[in-house]
């Protein structure tokens, strides 16, 4: 690291998974200057995936969530300002304004502001007991209300909704899931995989309603007690969790004049339209060859790997973000692992039978090429699928379907 970097001040807005990774990557790469990590949440950076899984069900402690504890931040000489939002960026003056009135100067800036849960635009959404889920505080508030035998309605059959359903069943709650589309996980998996997840939830006692939306929440004394569905039917309920998607936190970027379109626009080096500002994670709309164009991903893989590229760019290195996307979800004793992006597939090949088995892989092909795979209980398939998708192979569908043919053998020499 050149001497001049010692006088530099790099500021990171958003102390989540991506923000923490930018900060620690800067140090790992030898940056000797000052690093300030600013987070709206009071807590030091933590992992969100357990919030709907082990932390919700009580199998993981709050302490196990932290990516970097205060002593680790201190050791890495990362100045953490928690519980304060950045309200404005002045790219010309190279300063950021904090909600507590402070102004901080920067030489390079990283935006890792993530997103917030999409609120549901129906009557009664503001009733007590209608909850959104993104933070530790959100889950603590939901958990405080959970009592065995009570009824919870989950709006949204995406990953968060289904994981909360599984965790709530584990806690002994009576669970209804309401999904407006005609199947769960419709945006991310093939119908055959959706059917598998619908089956395991129904077998676990979840009342799963697909193809119907929520019309209103109702309740007495300001507290939710009833959900009215699109067909006029009602569900009596004690608690509601809404999981219908994410809105990227782009307002301060947009107000600063940065290009924004479903996320902060960055190039393959995580650079925004301002050369001194990078962005990474859930808030960044980036070119991704696996998506066949621009996309915004909401995953730990993306947050971590794009953050590392963002740190490299801050230091003037030319690195490109081109990692294969991957994701996982835990529901009951099933682990789903996904490699690649399946959007636009035109054929699907199954290894194992999702209708009758609890372990299978679904391989997605487009014009003969493998573009993605969803594996349940087959971690080896997932491991090799990441490599095969990266290599862009055009596999023999019969071999792909045959569990006796090791995927390893399909890797290019």
Site for ligand FAD contains 112 (CB under 6 A): yes
Site for ligand FAD contains 44 (CB under 6 A): no
Of 15 and 315, nearer to ligand FAD (C-beta) is 15
Interacting residue with ligand FAD among 22, 23, 35, 51 (CB under 6 A): 51
∠ Cα 176 179 185 (to 5°): 110
Answer for the pair 218, 124: CB distance below 8 angstroms, yes or no.
yes
Of 160 and 311, nearer to ligand FAD (C-beta) is 160
Site for ligand FAD contains 282 (CB under 6 A): yes
Of 161 and 395, nearer to ligand FAD (C-beta) is 161
What contacts 170, CB < 8 A, 6 or more positions away? 57
Rounded Cα–Cα distance for residues 54 and 50 (Å): 5
The stretch near ligand FAD (CB under 6 A) out of 39-47, 201-209, 267-275, 375-383 is: 39-47
Nearest distance in Å: CB 320, ligand FAD: 19
Site for ligand FAD contains 374 (CB under 6 A): no
Of 94 and 369, nearer to ligand FAD (C-beta) is 94
* 348 DSSP assignment: E
No. of H helices and E strands in the chain?
Answer: 10, 26
Answer for the pair 335, 284: CB distance below 8 angstroms, yes or no.
no
Pairing mode of beta strands 174-179, 334-340: unpaired
Site for ligand FAD contains 16 (CB under 6 A): yes
Task: Please state the separation of Cα 294 from the chain's center in Å.
Answer: 17
Interacting residue with ligand FAD among 153, 176, 237, 249 (CB under 6 A): 249
Which of 392, 326, 403, 323 has the alpha carbon at shortest distance from 361? 403
**In what order do the strands lie in the sheet containing 9-13?**
78-82, 34-39, 9-13, 108-111, 277-279
Nearest distance in Å: CB 291, ligand FAD: 15
Of 208 and 300, nearer to ligand FAD (C-beta) is 300
Of 247 and 394, nearer to ligand FAD (C-beta) is 247
E strands, 289-384, in order = 293-295, 326-331, 334-340, 347-351, 360-366, 369-376
Rounded Cα–Cα distance for residues 202 and 290 (Å): 33
∠ Cα 322 325 327 (to 5°): 160
Number of residues that bind ligand FAD (CB under 6 A): 37
Site for ligand FAD contains 328 (CB under 6 A): yes
Nearest distance in Å: CB 212, ligand FAD: 24
212 CB burial (10 A radius; 0-12, 13-18, 19+): middle
Within 10 angstroms of residue 195's Cβ, the number of other Cβ atoms is: 14
Site for ligand FAD contains 109 (CB under 6 A): no
Binding to ligand FAD (CB under 6 A) within 284-303 occurs at 298-301, 303
Torsions phi, psi for 325 (to 5 deg): -70, 140
Task: Please state the separation of Cα 286 from the chain's center in Å.
Answer: 15
Of 219 and 377, nearer to ligand FAD (C-beta) is 377
Of 39 and 340, nearer to ligand FAD (C-beta) is 39
Report CA-CA distances (Å) from 157 to 7, 83, 114, 245, 339.
Answer: 49, 32, 21, 10, 21
Of 229 and 258, nearer to ligand FAD (C-beta) is 258
Interacting residue with ligand FAD among 8, 17, 250, 375 (CB under 6 A): 17
Of 20 and 365, nearer to ligand FAD (C-beta) is 20
Binding mask 182-221 for ligand FAD (x = CB under 6 A): ----------------------------------------
Of 18 and 269, nearer to ligand FAD (C-beta) is 18
Q: Match 């001194």 to its residue by tokens.
A: 276
Interacting residue with ligand FAD among 130, 241, 252, 278 (CB under 6 A): 252
Binding to ligand FAD (CB under 6 A) within 134-163 occurs at 134, 160
* 325 DSSP assignment: P
The stretch near ligand FAD (CB under 6 A) out of 107-115, 119-127, 380-388, 404-412 is: 107-115
Rounded Cα–Cα distance for residues 171 and 169 (Å): 5
Residues near ligand FAD (CB under 6 A) are 13-19, 38-41, 48-49, 51-52, 85-86, 112-115, 133-134, 160, 249, 252, 281-283, 298-301, 303, 327-329
């Amino acid at each position: 690291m050149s001497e001049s970097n010692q006088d530099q001040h790099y500021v990171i807005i958003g102390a989540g998974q991506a923000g923490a990774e930018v900060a620690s990557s800067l140090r790992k790469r030898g940056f000797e200057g000052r690093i300030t990590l600013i987070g709206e949440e009071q807590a030091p950076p933590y992992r969100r995936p357990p919030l709907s899984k082990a932390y919700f069900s009580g199998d993981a402690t709050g302490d196990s969530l932290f990516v970097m504890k205060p002593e680790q931040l201190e050791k890495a000489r990362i100045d953490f300002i928690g519980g304060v939002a950045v309200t404005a960026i002045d790219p010309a003056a190279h300063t950021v304004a904090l909600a507590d009135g402070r102004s901080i100067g920067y030489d390079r800036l990283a935006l890792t502001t993530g997103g917030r849960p999409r609120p549901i635009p129906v009557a009664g959404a503001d009733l007590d007991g209608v909850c959104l889920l993104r933070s530790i505080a959100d889950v603590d508030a939901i958990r405080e209300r959970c009592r065995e035998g009570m009824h919870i309605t989950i709006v949204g059959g995406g990953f968060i909704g289904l994981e909360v359903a599984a965790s709530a069943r584990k806690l002994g709650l009576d669970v209804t899931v309401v999904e407006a589309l005609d199947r769960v996980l419709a945006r991310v998996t093939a119908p055959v995989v959706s059917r598998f997840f619908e089956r395991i939830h129904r077998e676990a006692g979840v009342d799963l309603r697909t193809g119907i939306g929520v019309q209103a929440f109702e309740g007495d004394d300001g507290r939710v007690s009833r959900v009215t569905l699109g067909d006029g039917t009602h569900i009596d309920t004690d608690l509601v969790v809404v999981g219908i998607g994410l809105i990227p936190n782009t307002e301060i970027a947009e107000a600063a004049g940065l290009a924004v379109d479903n996320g902060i626009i960055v190039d393959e080096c995580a650079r925004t339209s301002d050369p001194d500002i990078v962005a990474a994670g859930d808030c960044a709309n980036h070119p991704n060859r696996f998506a066949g164009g621009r996309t915004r991903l909401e995953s730990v893989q993306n947050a971590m790997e794009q953050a590392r590229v963002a740190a490299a760019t801050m230091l003037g290195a030319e690195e490109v973000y081109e990692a294969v996307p991957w994701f996982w979800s835990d529901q009951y004793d099933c682990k789903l692992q996904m490699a690649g992006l399946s959007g636009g597939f035109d054929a699907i090949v199954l290894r194992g039978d999702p209708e009758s088995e609890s372990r299978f892989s679904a391989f997605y092909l487009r014009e003969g090429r493998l573009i993605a795979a969803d594996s349940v209980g087959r971690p080896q398939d997932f491991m090799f699928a990441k490599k095969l998708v990266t290599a862009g192979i055009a596999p023999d569908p019969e071999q792909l379907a045959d569990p006796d043919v090791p995927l390893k053998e399909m890797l290019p020499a």
